[in-house]
């Protein structure tokens, strides 16, 4: 069985640091509700109760469930895009293309991590119901591909990388399928471990060959990389120790 993810220490309204806007705190709690309850169990009322405010004050900032979900999805994809960009920079930069095997390991392990295994199926469900969320997911996946090419010193718009794009698209589909199939059982499941070793045996040589082809055929004046993503990155603040005095009044 998958281990339950440790719940982040989120601030109630009374505990919010003065520098944290209420709008951001609402999204912090919305992320926690979506992670715990999934798309079908998500509601603005649950978010308001989690934060300790009246629903009317939540709807002042996010007038509809749709607006709240859009802000929530923007936050989630922004945070994940930055995490992915850091990983690909660390694993892929270098004259020989970095460590492609380490990238495959990280992608598959993250796919079955408790948070990812809960959040991404919820995002897929929301995307089936909302065209804007679907478009944001598409933009996120395109940005992830661009981040990898940037780390490799390649232009994703160049015809020279078409073979590498195809192999990386297969890897991306495998990662999402791994979340769907193995997300509930987790990384210790023998089936997941077999999948990881098999995926590396098949995809790693294909990625290395496609990378060699891309670097051999790219134009000499080709600019390195491109914009890895377009998201403004924001991270939720964790809750500080409770103050000794009385907290703020509920709005």
- Interval 60-87: pLDDT, tens: 999 999 999 999 999 999 999 999 999 9
Measured CA to CA, the distance from residue 197 to residue 48 in angstroms comes to 44
- Helix, strand, coil distribution of the chain in percent, nearest 5: 65, 0, 35
pTM of the model: 0.78
Measured CA to CA, the distance from residue 107 to residue 187 in angstroms comes to 12
Measured CA to CA, the distance from residue 169 to residue 12 in angstroms comes to 41
Average pLDDT over every residue of 146-164:
90
* Residue 71 near residue 24 (C-beta atoms within 8 A): no
Measured CA to CA, the distance from residue 207 to residue 184 in angstroms comes to 28
Q: What is the CATH number of domain 13-217?
A: 1.10.357.10
What pLDDT was estimated at residue 10?
81
């Amino acid at each position: 069985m998958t281990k339950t993810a440790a719940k982040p220490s989120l601030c109630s309204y009374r505990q919010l640091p003065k520098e944290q806007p209420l709008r951001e705190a609402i999204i912090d709690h919305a992320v926690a509700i979506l992670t715990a309850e999934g798309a079908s169990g998500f509601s603005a009322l649950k978010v308001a109760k989690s934060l300790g405010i009246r629903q009317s004050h939540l709807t002042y900032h996010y007038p509809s469930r749709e607006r709240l979900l859009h802000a929530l999805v923007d936050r989630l994809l922004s945070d994940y895009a930055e995490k992915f960009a850091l990983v690909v920079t660390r694993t892929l930069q270098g004259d020989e293309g970095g460590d492609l095997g380490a990238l495959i390991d990280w992608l598959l392990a993250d796919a079955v991590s408790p948070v990812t295994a809960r959040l991404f199926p919820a995002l897929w469900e929301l995307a089936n119901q909302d065209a804007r969320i679907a478009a944001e997911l598409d933009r996120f996946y395109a940005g992830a591909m661009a981040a990898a090419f940037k780390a490799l010193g390649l232009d994703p718009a160049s015809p020279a990388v078409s073979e590498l794009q195809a192999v990386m698209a297969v890897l991306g589909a495998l990662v999402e399928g791994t979340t769907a199939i193995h997300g509930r059982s987790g990384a210790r499941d023998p089936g997941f471990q077999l999948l990881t070793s098999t995926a590396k045996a098949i995809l790693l040589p294909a990625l290395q060959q496609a990378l060699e082809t891309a670097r051999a055929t790219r134009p000499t004046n080709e600019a390195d990389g491109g914009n890895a993503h377009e998201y403004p990155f924001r991270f939720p603040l964790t809750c500080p120790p409770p103050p000794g005095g009385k907290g703020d009044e509920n709005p």
